[in-house]
Every structure is written in C-alpha cells, then in structure tokens.
Amino acid sequence: MQYFAMKILEAILKRLNIPIELWDKATGYSLSGRGTYHFTFNHFRPSVRARGLNIHKDSGWITILRSLEPGLEIFRKQEWIPILPKEDNFIVNFGCAMEILTRDTDIPVAAVAHRVTEQKERNLSDRFSYALFVDSSLDKELCEGLYRYHPTDGLLLEANFEEFLDNIVHKTYEKDTQGLY
Ligand SMILES: [Fe+2]
C-alpha cells in the first residue's frame, strides 16, 4: 500500500509545475519512503447513533481509501456529494499538505473536505473502511515543516508540521468540531 501510494504521489507531482529536484523535500520526504505512513481500519455501526466522522480535510499528501459501503461524502461546489463505492476502485483524497504546497502555483490542488454520515437503521449493514495516510516526516532534523511552493521564490516554510497535524487530528475526532485549517 505504501509503495502504491508513493507511486500515485509521484504521478500527481509529474502533472504539477514544481521542479523535480524539489519533490522529495517539498513532500516532507514522503516520496522517498521517509515520510509518515499510517494505516487505519474503521468500523461504523448502525446501532451507534452518532455521526460517522466530522467534517475534515486529511492532513497530508494523499490518502488511499477502500470502502464498499456508502457513507462518505465530499463537499464540492457548495454541496455535499455522496461517494458511491465501486468494487474495483480505491478512493484517493488529496490532503492539506498538497493544498498548501500548490496554493501559489498555476495548478493548485484542493484538499477535499469530507465526512462520514451516521449509519442509519435503513442501511442495516455495518460500514468498514481501511485507509493509508501519507504525511511528511516528523523528524525535524530531516524535515523543517510544511512548504508552499512559489514559482520564483521556491519552497517557503509555511507551518510546523507536528503542530499542524496535532491540531487537525484533534479537531477531526473531537465531538462537534471540524478538522479544517
Ligand atoms: Fe479523511
């Protein structure tokens, strides 16, 4: 999964106008296997009367998600759109790090805000998902933080990654908050 994610990240970078020699530093060394990779399993039960997951954006570069039950929704063009799972597909989300890096470029990449709705009784089935998250390195000697790329100024330090991560993860999982920045 990690190798798969790194290949997808590389394919995305090829479509952006960021010099290739900056790619690994720009992505917090996640492109060369030195980033932070974590894998989660999720279980949403219809018997639990609660939202599935708060509105949030994923913190890092990309997320590779697998789920076959409905419940995931993305916010696009001012409306919530359900993502209907397909048997033979993974879902790929862009995260905040990608959005920050590309903000000043001619191909800005949006981190999609998303949520998981409550599993209503009518759904009956439990919802399962698993996901691999690709984030920058947390080793401060290797990686200073999150960068923004400027076409003339190059990589500009934008945020302390550890603080950014703590903040957005906290807001994603606490009750009645939103994991946005
Ligand atoms: Fe997410």
d(CA 119, ligand 1 centre) in Å = 17
Q: Are strands 62-67 and 127-135 parallel, antiparallel or unpaired?
A: antiparallel
Backbone angles phi, psi at 128, to 5 degrees: -120, 145
The CA 56 to ligand 1 mean position distance, Å, reads 6
Q: What is the pTM of this model?
A: 0.90
Strand partners, 156: 148
Distance 161 CA to ligand 1 centre (A): 17
Please give the DSSP secondary-structure letter assigned to residue 121: G
Rounded distance, CA 63 to CA 9, Å? 10
Per-residue pLDDT tens, the chain, 181 aa: give them: 999 999 999 999 999 999 999 999 999 999 999 999 999 998 888 777 777 788 999 999 999 999 988 889 999 999 999 998 899 999 999 999 999 999 999 999 999 999 988 777 655 678 889 999 999 999 999 999 999 999 999 999 999 999 999 998 888 888 788 888 8
pLDDT at 122: 59
